A and B are shown apart, each in its own frame.
Chain A
Amino acid sequence: MIATPNLINKVVSGITTWARVNSPWIIHFNSGSCNGCDIEILATLTPYYDIERFGIKLKGSPRHADVLICTGPVTRQARSRLLRIYEQMPEPKFVVAVGSCGISGGTFAGCYNIVGHIDEVLPVDAYIPGCPPRPEAIIDGVVKLLTHLKNGTRPEPIKPQLGEQA
């Protein structure tokens, strides 16, 4: 009898994890990228790559989304917007940083107008390197995130190696 609630909890959490892994809805935010990464993300959403196979859907409203896909370094102006969008998303939520700029500031590192890379503002769950990453790489990154969710672990946070300027 004592084990029953545990069992129910296990089954329920198994079902919700299954649902979560199979239906990640994404929202895309550009916090100061050069637009190269955004074009690649849009290419990923085209019928050619068909990410609806994995249940991924692009949503316009942060209230509907599960995964926030960020591109670019965070500029001083975009910082508050990025945070606001993140806070508008319902729990559980995940962040994917796309592109070298999102990981380390990339080509913009050390500029006067940027706060830094995305990790300095939000807790990032997955990084997709590349300048810009190919659509295949983006899909691979999202699938990696989903695999980690399935196993109940968060992806290892990789602390980006920064140069002296940052």
Chain B
Amino acid sequence: METVLAITSIMFFPAGISLILGGMLYEWADRKLVARFQNRIGPRWFQPLADTIKLISKEEIQPLGVNRALFFGLPVVALAGALTAALYVPIFGLQPAHSFPGDLIVTLYLLSLLTMCTGLAGWNSDSRFSIVGATRTLTQLFAYEAPFLLALLGPAMAADSWQISKIVAYTETHWMIVLQPVGFVIALIGLMGKLELPPFDAPEAETEIVAGALTEYSGRGLALFHIGKSVEMVVGVTLVTAFYLGGLGNPLIFLAKTLGLLLVMAFLQSVLVRLRIDQTVGMWWRAGAILALLQILALIVLK
């Protein structure tokens, strides 16, 4: 029975197919909102689904000079990491499928797996655009990762636990956005950095380096990376909402809250322009990390 349950939770719910479809819906909502902010009509609701099916049905070219195992393995690992992270997160406002003390750290590292895989995929390639993209991806990872972690540490310290379900139970009665506004802003912007949305899209800046680390990927590999990214979007948005915007509560209200967060993210995406990679790193370490540290310090002192 245990195994059946585990397999179901990985294949269908909460991770697996439902999450992939959810990720596509979130991606569509994001693209549509950005389009509306730019006064366009925007893509139709099935657009991410069509993109994915098309990519999967296309030819996959293995470029010269790549390590075959890495080239085909990395997209799978990336998607698997993002899907596994979902097991510990209250997706769509439902209780997490699995939980153990310290799962917050595991989730955060699983979420970074996608970025690491993207970086390695670029490195694996011979194309100079991929290598520049990979360098930028990994540099940016080191920029936002620490402040993002510190920002999620705030609620964890307030709740005195490293377990997501306990933290969420605590935040249900304490609106962390009011108690730790700095942490919320850093977590939100860190999430945008994680998803490489503008203004942090230097790693895939199409005007400079074609498509960044994924330049040489086509067909299935590209599709898997795309899916991984939209899954990561769902997990990230869920995590930030659950931590800062008043816990789980009613699933419907929770969904509305995540959509509200998505609206803010789409707004920021459409009003901000791309930062240079040195500006990104400088901003995160000069402002982001220090503010996050100050907040944690204040938390320790006040507690």
Contacts and interface: CB of A to CB of B under 8 A. Distances in A.
Given A16-B53, A55-B50, A90-B219, A63 B61 contact: yes
B10 to A, nearest CB: 25
B50 A18 contact: yes
Nearest to B210: A60
B206 interface: yes
B2 interface: no
Contacts of A64: 211, 217-218, 222
B211 A60 contact: yes
B39 interface: yes
B53 A19 contact: yes
A60 B219 contact: no
B47 A55 contact: yes
Given A19-B54, A20-B54, A22-B50, A63 B43 contact: no
A79 to B, nearest CB: 22
A91 B42 contact: no
Interface residues of B, number: 34
A50 B42 contact: yes
Interface of A: prevailing SS: mixed
A90 B44 contact: no
B278 interface: no
A23 interface: yes
Contact of B43 (A15, A25, A55, A92): A55
B290 to A, nearest CB: 36
B42 A52 contact: yes
Contacts of B47: 22-23, 52, 55
B216 interface: yes
A90 B58 contact: yes
